[in-house]
Each structure stands twice: as C-alpha cells, then as structure tokens.
Amino acid sequence: MQRRSVLLGLLGLPLLASAVEGDPLPSVMWDYHHQRLLNNEPFVFDERVKVSVPPFAEDSRQVPVEIDARALPGRFSRMLLWAELNPIPRVFSLRASAELVPLLAIRIRVEQATPIRAALLGEDGVWHVGSAWIDAAGGGCTAPSVVRAQPGWEERLGQVLGRSFARRDNNRLRVQISHPMDNGLVGGIPEFYLDRAELRSTTGEVLASFELFPAISENPTLTMEVRGHPHTVLWLHDNNGNEFEAGL
Amino acid sequence: MRQLLLLAALLFGGAAQADFDYHLQPRQVAEGTWLLEGSTDNFARENGGDIVNTGFIETDDGVVVIDSGPSRRYGEALRKVIGETTGKPVKLLLLTHHHPDHVLGNQAFADVPIAALAGTRRLLEEQGDDLAENMYRLVGDWMRGTEVVLPTQTLEAGTLDVGGHRLRLLALSGHTGADLAILDENTGVLFAGDIVFYQRALTTPGTPGLEVWLGDLDTLQRLPWTLIVPGHGPVARDAAPFDQMRDYLGWLDALMRKGVEEGADMNELIRAPIPPRFAAISLSRYELVRSVSHLYPRYEQRGLSKVSIEPGEPHAQ
C-alpha cells in the first residue's frame, strides 16, 4: 500500500487514502455527493448504519444491497442510497413515517467497483452515513436489457409479485415489480423507469414515500419492514405516467 | 511515461511470474491414461488459471485429449507434455463444456479435430469472448495471445471407438446446460467434467437447476467406473465425490428454499453459516456468493405470488 501511495504521488494523483476524515472507504467523490445529495448538511460516518453487499458483483446488473440501521437510536425521517462511481449514482430517496423500520434491501446496477452509501437523517438533524465497497468487473448500467429480450414483457409491465412475512410485531414485505427500468444509457432505448413509489396503510396513510432512480435493477426487487400494518398497499408510478398498485 | 511504466513494472511486477511456465506434470492414473491436476484455488495471477483437471488417453491410433486448459500457453504446454509422455500424435480433443478454464487452450490443437456437444459449441460462440476477456482480467499476462477457437466436430451421446479404446460419451446438462462426461470402458476411468467437483465448491452460472444436476450425478454414479476424475479436485476410487456433491447441492437448495419461506434477501443468504462438514471444500464462501446471485432469483419467483390490483378492483384488505 505504501509503495502504491508513493507511486501515485509521483504521478501527481491524489492519494487513495480516505479523502475525508473518518471515511471508512477510499473515496474521491464524497465531497461531491455530500454537496449534491445531502445539501452540505451535517453528517457523520456511522457504523450503526450497516450497508451489506457481496464482496464482488457476480452480476453487475443485479447487485443486492441491504441497509440495516436498527441500531440507530430514535426515529429517522429520510434515507438515501447511492453508488458513488455510477453514471447514475442515486438509487432512491425515501421519506419515512415512524412505522417504517430502518431495514431495507434492494438490487442495483453498478458500472464499476464503487463505494455504496446509505444516509439516514436522524432526529438529531444529522445524516448518519453507512458505507460498503463492491468490487465489480462492471458494465451493469450499460448492459443490454434482459427483460426486453423476454417475449411478452409488455403484458407483464407493472405486474407485482409479492408476499408478506410476520416478523414478531413487524410485517416484512418483499415485492418484485416487472419493469425494464431503462436508464437511457443503452443505445436507442430512452429512459423508462419507475420514478415514484408509496407504501400506504389500508386507510391511505403514507408509510414510506420513495423517489426512485434507474440505478435500480430491472424488475426491481424490494424488501422492507413496517411496524404493525399486517396489510398494506404499494403504489407505483413510472416516468411515462403509468400507475400500478398492489395489495400485500 | 515510459520511465513511469518501467517504474511501475519494477514496483509491482513479481519475478515469480516472469517465466509463465505451468510446470505441467502428467500423472498416470490408469493404463495409458494421464491426469494434469490443477489447483482447487480460484483463478489468480499466481496460478495462471491452472485450476482445472485435464487429461489424455494414449490409444493405438494416437492420443485423445480431454479439455485444453485455461490459456493458449497452457494448451501449448499440454501438447508438449503429451508428446514427451506418449511419443504419439494427438488424434482428437474432447471438450467437456464451454467454460474458459476447459477450452481456452484450444489454439494449440487447431490442427486436430476438436469435438464437443452442440450446446457447448453454441455457448462458446455466444459467451467465449466475454469469458476470455474476464480471464485476462483475472490472471493477466498468462493469457497473452489467447483467443477462442470453436469446436470443429459435434458429439452426441453414444460410444466412440478410438485406437482400441471404447469411450462412452454422456450428454448431460446440470452444470452449464451442455456437459460431456466420458467413460473409458477399457480402463473404467470416468472423466466427469464439471458435473463433479471434489473438495472444491461447485460453480453454478448457467445451471438449468440443481435438480437436473442431481439427476446427472445419478446417471454417472450408475456407470461401471473404477476411478472418477472430477473437473476440479483430486481423483477418487470410491463414491466420495458423488456423496459430497449431493450433500452440497442439497444444502444449497435447502438454504434457498428456507430463505424464500422466511422472506430473506440475498445478503442474508450470502452471510449464512457454512456447515462444518464442508470446511475442507475450497472456496465454499466465494461460490455461495456466486450461487445465490445465479439461483436465488428463480427460487424467489416461485415463492412470491401475484399481488397486483387491477384498475377498478377494490384494494385487498
């Protein structure tokens, strides 16, 4: 490592050691995303926000990410997930009710090895940031669609497969939505992706409100947990104006 | 810039790889039958991709080679040791399946028939360049000059008589969709290809399903073999590799079924404890990460049901 630093120093490149104090990862993009995504608001790198990814991306188009911030005290009002070195870094931005458990899993595309960051806004007004590193051969964002190669995908557009699981007092929801999540980076195919989602109670109260980005894998797979609410409704919206609903 | 590259070469280039010699040592495992046993490690610059078992059979009509190895350099070295060992020309190269560690030495055999199942040829045509590119990334300069060479002959299940050896060919599919196994009826040596891994975790990209794979194991175990040559790992004279394969596939299958029933996402399965009885199996954690990525989506599909609300329908309560 030391030899590498010396060499990079010779080449006039910034050292790959953590660029920001306390950052567990060698990142050159933290400041940029802090400014753009977190509005330069106060933050802390916090190990209680556990971001889990495999050590390497076996399929760069479907990389599973799990965020578990149950160790964080108090409630959280927002959660952001992004992949720093992706052409489309943002995965989602979430506004949470008190009933949403800070435990969520989703699959994303990565274009190259990159830090993955999850930031939760706590009651203290500070963003608590969890980090993980994924190694990848890459190409997940610019690979041809698998969904579009399947006959009849248009008929299944917006179809939701799902199931709920009782977990003590919580209800865990797993859903998979048929959607190509085209990100505009594959030649000749314009952006076509789910851009909003809401998880609602049966009486219409919003439990979680998502802004979604096409760094999410095609046929998005989402796992989340709510306190109580054995029955919920998931509402989805794409950038072409289609709306879909599912009862869980 | 040149000085910097030179500096980089001095700093990072290890002298250990300078000769790119696989040091292939054929080991006789039966009459007229030799094995080149690879490491059970992952692809690495330290091993040049030599993680695979290849073999050859000396017949009255020349040498039958089983798989050509991970690179042009390996194929050339293999051809050389075949000549030194048998003093006979190569008659035929058989490919067990299209994965890069088994077929990227083909260039060294371009002057003899290269035979494989039709599916192997198709998969190599589709994926070969990407697989080779990934090998360059994983093992570097060992791959220099390596290019994909497609099979020139198509095999079907049946028997092949070559120079007094009766080779039974089995067309299987559990590992990649097109997997050839070869039983030499003269010696009882079963070249199982990657239908059998032993003491090395099996790999699952392209498997049509673990139940298909289990069926193939039954087919092979019923044959009158006396020695099993797995695609990866040590040879065996008893059924231990079959038992280990069934045990491991069964565990993998049960882990993912349970995951679906409990609502687990992929990362929870990737972290799952690996049973102590698999402790001696190389790379089981690494391959679990890969297998969950390959296979869990299929299990999820079966475990989730349609919950869409069609427009106009009342919301489910």
Query: Residues 243-282, chain B: which have Cβ within 8 Å of A?
Result: 262-263, 265-268, 270-271
Q: Which candidate from B266, B305, B309 shows the least CB-CB separation from A161?
A: B305
pLDDT of residue A28: 86
pLDDT of residue A204: 93
Compute the average pLDDT of residues B218-246: 97
How far is A185 from A88, CA to CA, in rounded Å?
Answer: 9
- Is the pLDDT reported for residue A12 higher than 50? no
| Strand stretches in B18-136, DSSP E | 27-30, 33-36, 54-59, 62-66, 90-94, 114-117
DSSP β-bridge partners for residue A70: none
Q: Which candidate from A105, A137, A246 shows the least CB-CB separation from B134?
A: A137
Least confident span in B10-14, B77-81, B155-159: B10-14
pLDDT of residue B10: 46
- Is the pLDDT reported for residue B56 higher than 70? yes
8 A C-beta contact, residue A174 and residue B263: yes
How far is B149 from B102, CA to CA, in rounded Å?
Answer: 12
Range of the domain at A38: 20-247
pLDDT of residue A14: 42
Average pLDDT, chain B: 92
Distance from the Cα of residue B236 to its chain's centroid: 17
Average pLDDT, chain A: 89
CATH number of the domain within which A142 lies:
2.60.40.2470
The two tokens of residue B273 are 């404890």
pLDDT of residue A98: 95
* A41 Cα to chain B: minimum distance (Å): 30
Least confident span in A119-128, A140-149, B108-117, B138-147: A140-149
Q: Which string of DSSP letters, residue by residue, matches B121-185?
A: HHHHHHHHHHHHHHHHHHHGGGGTT------SEEE-SEEEEETTEEEEEEEE-TTTS-EEEEEET
Residues of B with Cβ-Cβ distance to A2 under 8 angstroms: none
The two tokens of residue B91 are 């008659």
Compute the average pLDDT of residues B279-305: 93
How far is B20 from B143, CA to CA, in rounded Å?
Answer: 10
The two tokens of residue B290 are 């890969």
pLDDT of residue B3: 53
- Is the pLDDT reported for residue B221 higher than 90? yes
The two tokens of residue A199 are 């998880």
| No. of helices (H) and no. of strands (E), chain B | 8, 13
pLDDT of residue B137: 87
- Is the pLDDT reported for residue A4 higher than 70? no
Burial letters A205-237, b for 16+ CB under 10 A, else e: eebbbbebbbbbbbbbbbbbbbeebeebbbbbb
pLDDT of residue A18: 52
Q: Note the helical H segments in chain A.
A: 2-10, 30-38
Judged by CB atoms closer than 8 Å, whether chains meet at B308 and A245 is answered as yes
CA dihedral B155, B160, B166, B172 (to 10 degrees): 20
**Reported confidence tier of residue B65, pLDDT bands at 50, 70, 90:** very high
**Reported confidence tier of residue A208, pLDDT bands at 50, 70, 90:** very high
How far is B90 from B62, CA to CA, in rounded Å?
Answer: 5
Q: What is the ipTM of this complex?
A: 0.87
- Is the pLDDT reported for residue A1 higher than 70? no
Residues of A with Cβ-Cβ distance to B129 under 8 angstroms: none
Quote the radius of gyration of chain B (alpha carbons, Å): 22
> Is A4 within a domain?
no
Map residue B232 onto helix, strand or coil.
Answer: strand
Which amino acid, B219? T
- Is the pLDDT reported for residue B11 higher than 70? no
The two tokens of residue A205 are 């109260």
How far is A131 from A23, CA to CA, in rounded Å?
Answer: 9
How far is A244 from B310, CA to CA, in rounded Å?
Answer: 8
How far is B288 from B270, CA to CA, in rounded Å?
Answer: 6
Compute the average pLDDT of residues A22-32: 89
What are the φ/ψ torsions at residue B283 (nearest 5 degrees)? Answer: 70, 25
pLDDT of residue B313: 54
How far is B84 from B99, CA to CA, in rounded Å?
Answer: 27
pLDDT of residue A152: 84
DSSP β-bridge partners for residue B70: none
Taking one residue from A and the other from B, the number of pairs with CB-CB distance under 8 angstroms is 99
Residue (of B200, B203, B242) closest to B98 by Cα position: B203
> Is A15 within a domain?
no
Q: pLDDT per residue over A38-64, tens digit each?
A: 999 999 999 999 999 999 999 999 999
The two tokens of residue B202 are 């099996």
**Reported confidence tier of residue A137, pLDDT bands at 50, 70, 90:** confident
The two tokens of residue A179 are 């959607």
Quote the radius of gyration of chain A (alpha carbons, Å): 19
User: Is the minimum CB–CB distance between B285 and chain A shorter than 8 Å?
Assistant: no
> Is A13 within a domain?
no
DSSP β-bridge partners for residue A96: A208
| No. of helices (H) and no. of strands (E), chain A | 2, 15
User: Is the minimum CB–CB distance between B239 and chain A shorter than 8 Å?
Assistant: no
- Is the pLDDT reported for residue A13 higher than 50? no
Q: pLDDT per residue over B127-160, tens digit each?
A: 999 999 989 988 999 999 999 999 999 999 999 9
Map residue A212 onto helix, strand or coil.
Answer: strand
Distance from the Cα of residue A234 to its chain's centroid: 17
> Is A11 within a domain?
no
pLDDT of residue A70: 96
Compute the average pLDDT of residues A98-106: 97
Residues of A with Cβ-Cβ distance to B304 under 8 angstroms: 161-163, 174-176
The CATH classification number of B21-238 equals 3.60.15.10
- Is the pLDDT reported for residue B190 higher than 80? yes
DSSP code at position A135: B
Least confident span in A146-155, A158-167, B193-202: A146-155
Compute the average pLDDT of residues B264-275: 95
Judged by CB atoms closer than 8 Å, whether chains meet at A161 and B301 is answered as yes
- Is the pLDDT reported for residue B80 higher than 60? yes
Question: Which of B266, B270, B298, B313 has the most A C-beta neighbours within 10 Å, making it the best mutation to test the interface with A?
Answer: B266
> Is A9 within a domain?
no
DSSP code at position A74: S
pLDDT of residue A145: 78
User: Is the minimum CB–CB distance between A70 and chain B shorter than 8 Å?
Assistant: no
Compute the average pLDDT of residues A6-20: 46
- Is the pLDDT reported for residue B198 higher than 80? yes
CA distances to A29, A72, B140, B141 from B45, in Å: 30, 42, 6, 8
DSSP code at position B106: G
Judged by CB atoms closer than 8 Å, whether chains meet at A202 and B315 is answered as yes
Scanning the structure block, which residue is given the tokens 């996402």? B265
Map residue A233 onto helix, strand or coil.
Answer: strand
> Is A242 within a domain?
yes
User: Is the minimum CB–CB distance between B42 and chain A shorter than 8 Å?
Assistant: no
**How many domains does chain A contain in total?**
1
**Reported confidence tier of residue B19, pLDDT bands at 50, 70, 90:** confident
Compute the average pLDDT of residues B48-71: 97
